[in-house]
Amino acid sequence: MRILTRYLIRAHLGPFLFSFSALTGLLFLNAIAQRMDDLVGKGLTWGVVGEFLVLSLPHTLALTLPMSILVAVLYTFSELTSASEITAMAAGGIRPARLILPMAGVGVLFAGLMFYFNDQVLPQSNHELKNLIIDIGRKSPTFDLRERVVNEIQTNGGTGKIYLQAREIDNTTSKLTEVKIYDLSDPLAHRTTYAERGEMAFNANHTDLYLTLYNGVIYEVSEDRAGGFTRSAFETQITPMRGVGNELERRAGGSFRGDREMTGAMLRTAISEKTAEMDRLRDASLTSARGALISALGSPPEGATSASEAVRLARATRAARVIQRPIRDDMIRRVAQEARQTVNQMDAHERFIREHRVEIHKKYSIAVACLVFVLLGAPIAVRSPRGGVGNVIAVSVGVFALYWAGLIGGENLADEGLVPPGVAMWSVDVLLTAVALVFLRRMAMDVASSRGGGLDDLGFHVTQFIQRLRHGTRAEETGTTPA
């Protein structure tokens, strides 16, 4: 049996690695293409770009790992069945269901790894990626100059202004012709520079711009002395412009964590805090209502320990005072406004709790999907041995679409409070597991029977299964026994 187990695992290893690499590459490139706008024109270093790519990878891995398991199981069992290896094993006394046990064990192992990944690695990477995107968004585009236009240049973090104009600007060689610079960075001196040509160069951090000007003249007017004027000619002049560019500033601590950026422990802590806050809101609302009621009836007589008792005693002793209508209306409006605010806060807290409970269940359900796909893929592959790669792709796409549609739809319903979080996140797993168990029960019969195989055979069996269910339902309604 150990030989059989090793053989099955080795048979699945190649298809799994291939499908995992292919799916991860495709989805990762698609994710990067969607976020390319966040990187273009920012003057980012290769280190920042590399960090962006690395932090974008875990989200893709969380999707492709369960998918790769299903593809590997479908392909491997389809190949084993088409080569009559499973039939030979059954003839040798090995039950087909026994072949599922090694892969079920691997599925359990992957489920554990997947849960740890979803609970620890993925939330942290999502949080760091969001912080990086926010920091990149706060970084202004790289320094750019336009020809024959007076370009305003912010220097020293925006404290000084310089205006530059050039007849021609070659972005390839960073050369300029007929350069004019109006320097207003010094409030006590206005300086105007004219040059026949110039060259631009940035420092290593792209924060300071150095203009090397040739064959020009500088006119300077001093504000501290009346009539002060200076004219200076030069052959070569280096004009530094400090703080023209800006570096990527990384904030310490980062931003607020969303539900997809929290571990399971963080989610449970947040739920407990919101639950305690809801209890405080209820107590405060009851206290406010009691105070308003007592104010309307007057001071509660001695011995009143609750609002209802205060009302009873006040009526019995006729101690309630009559409130003037304007005062009463103001009190009613105040109480109604406080009640509306409390209701809105309670609704927000309830939605917060639902979303975080959904996220907890999602971590477990996606991890368990690794095992569910193993149980579902093997009997489907045995039913259609000659479907080949086309059958693997068709079944994989169908199962993926059903699973992710159910998961996303259930999450939306649970967030709105229409379905309990546990039901929403586990319904697809339960449905696919039930289908897998039905197929596993018939797996031995399928191996021993003669069948055409392929996609047509799979469709025929699915149709027959649905018809049997419908006939069984009709028989129950009429009280007859189905043939």
The pLDDT of residue 440 is above 90: no
Q: Which residues contact 189 (CB under 8 A, 6 or more apart)?
A: 220, 221, 222, 223
- Surface-to-core class of residue 63, CB atoms within 10 Å of its CB (0-12 exposed, 13-18 middle, 19+ buried): middle
Report the pLDDT averaged over residues 24-28: 91
> DSSP assignment, residue 121?
I
* Full DSSP string of 52-120: HHHHHHHHHHHHHHHHHHHHHHHHHHHHHHHTTHHHHHHHTT--GGGGHHHHHHHHHHHHHHHHHIIII
The pLDDT of residue 54 is above 70: yes
Residue 458 has a pLDDT of 52
What six digits make up the tokens of 147?
């020809």
77 vs 476: CA distance, rounded Å: 37
Of the listed ranges 118-132, 147-161, 272-286, 463-477, the least confidently predicted one is 463-477
Query: What percent of the chain is modeled with pLDDT above 70?
Result: 74
What six digits make up the tokens of 326?
């304007």
The pLDDT of residue 190 is above 70: yes
Higher pLDDT, residue 302 or 450 = 302
CA angle 82, 85, 86 (to 5 degrees): 90
How far is the CA of 330 from the CAs of 3, 36, 296, 323, 333, in angstroms?
Answer: 84, 56, 12, 11, 5
147 vs 129: CA distance, rounded Å: 37
Residue 372 has a pLDDT of 93
432 vs 395: CA distance, rounded Å: 13
The pLDDT of residue 299 is above 80: no
Report the pLDDT averaged over residues 46-69: 89
Higher pLDDT, residue 319 or 433 = 433
pTM of the model as a whole:
0.65
Residue 203 has a pLDDT of 78
Residue 225 has a pLDDT of 67
69 vs 107: CA distance, rounded Å: 8
27 vs 49: CA distance, rounded Å: 18
Residue 285 has a pLDDT of 82
The pLDDT of residue 264 is above 80: yes
349 vs 278: CA distance, rounded Å: 7
Closest CA relative to residue 295, chosen from 337, 335, 338: 335
Asked if 296 and 323 count as a contact pair (C-beta separation under 8 A), the reply is: yes
Asked if 191 and 183 count as a contact pair (C-beta separation under 8 A), the reply is: yes
Closest CA relative to residue 110, chosen from 28, 3, 9: 9
Q: What is the pLDDT of residues 366-425, one digit of tens each?
A: 999 999 999 998 888 887 766 577 788 888 889 999 998 999 999 999 988 899 999 999
Query: What percent of the chain is modeled with pLDDT above 90?
Result: 28
Asked if 66 and 373 count as a contact pair (C-beta separation under 8 A), the reply is: yes
Residue 446 has a pLDDT of 57
Asked if 311 and 292 count as a contact pair (C-beta separation under 8 A), the reply is: no
Residue 205 has a pLDDT of 65
268: pLDDT confidence band, cut at 50, 70 and 90? very high
43 vs 246: CA distance, rounded Å: 9
Report the pLDDT averaged over residues 328-335: 70
Residue 320 has a pLDDT of 44
Closest CA relative to residue 403, chosen from 459, 362, 348, 461: 362
Residue 322 has a pLDDT of 46
For the chain, give the mean pLDDT.
79
Amino acid at 38: D
82: pLDDT confidence band, cut at 50, 70 and 90? confident
Higher pLDDT, residue 446 or 448 = 446
